[in-house]
Amino acid sequence: MQTWKIGSGRLFIRLGDITTLEVDAVVNAANSRLAGGGGVDGAIHRTAGLRELREACQAIIADIGLLPPGEAVITPGFKLPAKYIIHTVGPIWRGGTVDEPKLLKNAYMNSLKLAQKHDITTIAFPAISCGAYGYPVEEAAHIALSALKEGLESGLMEEAGMILHDDKAYATWAIAAEKVL
C-alpha cells in the first residue's frame, strides 16, 4: 500500500478486495439500472446481499429512472464491512470524443460530494470504467487520482483511495500517482 498526505487528509492506493474493506463507504462501479452485473459491481452485490441491495437499488431507480454517467447515489452497505455503498456510473469509452474524461471525473467528484453529505470520512474506489467499459487505464488513473486529490484538498474527505485487483493494475496506478501526486 502507498499513501500520500493531501491537505489535511490521506490518499491511498492498495491491492485488495473492495468488499472486505473496513471504511465508511465503498464505491460501486455500477450500471445505469443499478442492476448488478460482473466485476466489482457483481462482487459488491453478492457480498452485500443480493436481495437487500437489489431492493434498495430498485427503489432508487423507481424514483429517479436510470442513473446517468457521472452521477452517484447511496445505499446502506448491508452485509459489507462498509456502512454505505455509493453507486456511480462511469462512462463507456468511445475514443474520448463524447465527454468521457469529464464524466469520469464527475463520477469520482460526485461520489466524494455525496459521501460528505452523509458524514462519511473514509472511502474506497475501484477503477471506475476500466473493466467492461473499456476506459484506457493510464488515462483513467490520472483522472481519478486528480479528482481524489482535489476532493482531499477541498476537505471533502479525511481518507480516500483506490483498491486495485491485481499487480499489473496496482503498478499502473502507482506510476500515475508519481505524476499526479
Catalytic (active-site) positions = 41
User: How far, in Å, CA of 169 to CA of 18, rounded?
Assistant: 14
Helix H or strand E segment including 72:
strand 72-76
Tell me the three cell numbers of residue 4.
500520500
Residue written as cell 455509493? 86
**In whole angstroms, how far apart are CA 14 and each of 118, 124, 139, 143, 164?**
24, 10, 18, 17, 6
- C-alpha of 129 from chain center: 10
Residue written as cell 473514509? 122
Strand pairing class (9-15; 2-6)? antiparallel
User: How far, in Å, CA of 67 to CA of 82, rounded?
Assistant: 22
- C-alpha of 138 from chain center: 16
